[in-house]
Amino acid sequence: MTEHMSTPEGTIAYELSGEGPLVILAHGIGDSRHSYRFIAPALVAAGYRVANMDIRGCGESSTGWNGYSRTDIAGDLVALVRSLGGPAVIVGHSISGGAATIAAATAPDLVAGVAELAPFTRRQTADLGGLLRHKDYRAGTIRLAKVLMTGSVKAWLAYLDLAVPAKPADWERESGRIRDTVSRPERMADLRAMMKTSPADAGAQLPKVRRPVLIVEGSADPDWTDPRAEGERIIADLPDGVGELAVIEGAGHYPHTQTPGELLALLLPFLGRTLPFTTKVDNA
């Protein structure tokens, strides 16, 4: 059942299931909490209380927010943890990975740890050599540029086709749901607004994070010519001993959709190490 958290700017939709330590699931640009459809039930079955949210501008959350930066999304994450009674581990994908970094750095009393899936958590620079050498990176960059410049739904779906190289069994239905959502002008406008934001705000917070961080990259992610190297750069910017990196072979930009079993094999031990030692914070 969908629940809503009201903020001064709008409302955040989420589903809350299970009992136990709190895990927040936050998806990426142009998506919704549906992207965790294979992960959320498994976490509930493992004994966690799971809040699977639609980030601002997506899913059933409201549109027309004043800002869509990682800092803005981090504020929503912290507010949700506080409202539900934390601390929590935040699992953030792509833009929400960067937002989770900011939440961990700025609200360590509420954030016990962070798992970042294919995250944009550092300032990015154009890889001109990669555009020439790496066909998937080139194709993904071109398709995303078309979305940013024209709001093309076709280009977004073409990017997803590349970013999920091995499709789950329900992909035809799921991609149709995504198509129908981003075809709505207000949803595409919010998608493009998020694409215009920079991850530099998250990168600035990396040295301040003291909670455990798990970075998960897919070896076939078209958003980078070398996803492992991107993950290693994030780890290097964190304090020593805070971060760990895992790379799922063959996974694209959506490991929670494409390779949920492999992701859970990484995520469950991380949660087991991170959440049992926390103490619940009363609602504020």
Q: Which residues contact 145 (CB under 8 A, 6 or more apart)?
A: none
Q: What is the pLDDT of residue 1?
A: 85
Give a yes or no: residue 79 inside a domain.
yes
For residue 68, is it within any domain? yes
- Element housing 81 (H / E): helix 70-84
Helix-strand-coil split of the chain, %, nearest 5 = 45, 15, 35
Q: Which of 149, 7, 9 is nearest to 67 (CA)?
A: 9
Question: What's the maximum distance between 2 C-alpha atoms anywhere in the chain?
Answer: 53
Give the CA distances from residue 226 to residues 19, 172, 202, 278, in Å, rounded to whole numbers and listed in that order.
39, 29, 20, 35
What is the C-alpha to C-alpha distance for residues 58 and 165, in angstroms, rounded to an integer? 23
Residue 237 lies in a domain: yes
The backbone torsions φ and ψ at residue 145, rounded to the nearest 5 degrees and listed phi first, read: -60, -40
Is the pLDDT at 281 greater than 70, yes or no?
A: no
76 belongs to a structural domain: yes
In the DSSP assignment, the letter for residue 253 is S
Q: What is the pLDDT of residues 57-90, one digit of tens each?
A: 999 999 999 999 999 999 999 999 999 998 999 9
What distance in Å separates the CA atoms of residue 99 and residue 92, rounded to the nearest whole number? Answer: 7
Query: Can the peptide bond before residue 87 be classed as cis, meaning omega within 30 degrees of 0?
Result: yes
In angstroms, the CA 33 to CA 40 distance is 9
33 is in which domain, residue-wise? 2-126+197-274
Mean pLDDT, residues 248-265 taken together: 97
**CA–CA separation, 267 vs 53, rounded Å?**
18
Stretch 162-166: mean pLDDT, rounded? 96
Is 211 contained in some domain? yes
The answer on pLDDT for 44 being more than 70 is yes
Read off the CATH number of the domain in which 38 is found.
Answer: 3.40.50.1820
For the chain, the domain total comes to 1
CB 74 within 8 A of CB 106: yes
Asked if the structure places residue 131 within a domain, the reply is no
How many whole angstroms separate alpha carbon 214 and alpha carbon 212? 7
Is-contact 92 99, C-beta < 8 A?
yes
Classify residue 279: in a domain, yes or no: no
Provide the pLDDT confidence category of residue 278 given band limits of 50, 70 and 90.
very low
CA atoms within 13 A on the CB side of 226: 10
What's the pLDDT score for residue 125?
Answer: 79
Give the mean model confidence (pLDDT) for residues 11-23.
96
The count of C-alpha atoms lying within 13 angstroms of the C-alpha of 261, restricted to the half-sphere facing its C-beta, is: 2
Q: Tell me the pLDDT band of 269, cut-offs 50, 70 and 90.
A: very high
pLDDT score at 133: 86
pTM for this entry? 0.94
Considering the domain boundaries, does residue 158 fall inside one?
no
